[in-house]
């Protein structure tokens, strides 16, 4: 069913849907671009093709990032976390990572931080 290296598959801890969250980071600037989800096959394709591939939970199909938009993610490095339940994918992002056209999926909605006027902000 999948071409994933059994030594890697044995370390993965999947959620009840068989998926693992993948944090996607621009390799040189360190920007966190988005969070995707991978099953074993998506991870195998990401590792072997060098292009980030996810499982689309909304469309229920494999999603080769940039296939329609051209906003490809070239894979530079893939890491697994200490307990095997999160993947970190460092990529070179072509164009916008976000479907809104923003560079990252986190650009638009600041909940708290230095740039956000607090309750005491004036003027």
Touching a second copy, residues 7-26 (CB under 8 A): 8, 11, 21, 23, 25
Six-digit token string for 120: 């005491």
CB closer to a second copy out of 11 and 67: 11
- CB contact set of 34 (below 8 Å; sequence gap of 6+): 24, 97, 98, 104, 105
Distance between CA 32 and CA 115 in Å, rounded?
A: 18
Q: Which of 10, 82, 118, 120 binds a second copy (CB under 8 A)?
A: 82
Distance between CA 26 and CA 97 in Å, rounded?
A: 10
Beta-bridge mates of residue 32:
25
Q: Report if residue 96 touches a second copy, rule: CB under 8 A.
A: no
Q: Which of 31, 51, 94, 103 binds a second copy (CB under 8 A)?
A: 31
CB closer to a second copy out of 47 and 64: 47
Distance between CA 61 and CA 70 in Å, rounded?
A: 18
Q: Report if residue 60 touches a second copy, rule: CB under 8 A.
A: no
Q: Which residues bind a second copy (CB under 8 A)?
A: 8, 11, 21, 23, 25, 29-32, 34-35, 47, 75-88, 90, 98-100, 102, 105-106, 108-115
């Amino acid at each position: 069913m999948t071409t994933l290296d059994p030594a890697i598959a044995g370390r993965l801890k999947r959620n009840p849907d068989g998926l693992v969250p993948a944090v996607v980071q621009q390799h040189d600037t360190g920007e966190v671009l988005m969070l995707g989800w991978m099953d074993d096959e998506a991870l195998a394709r990401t590792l072997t093709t060098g292009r980030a591939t996810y499982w689309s939970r909304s469309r229920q199909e494999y999603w080769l990032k940039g296939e329609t938009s051209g906003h490809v993610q070239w894979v530079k490095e893939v890491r697994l976390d200490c307990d095997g339940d999160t993947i970190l994918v460092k990529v070179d992002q072509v164009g916008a990572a976000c479907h809104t056209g923003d560079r990252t999926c986190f650009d638009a909605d600041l909940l708290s931080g230095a740039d956000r006027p607090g309750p005491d902000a004036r003027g």
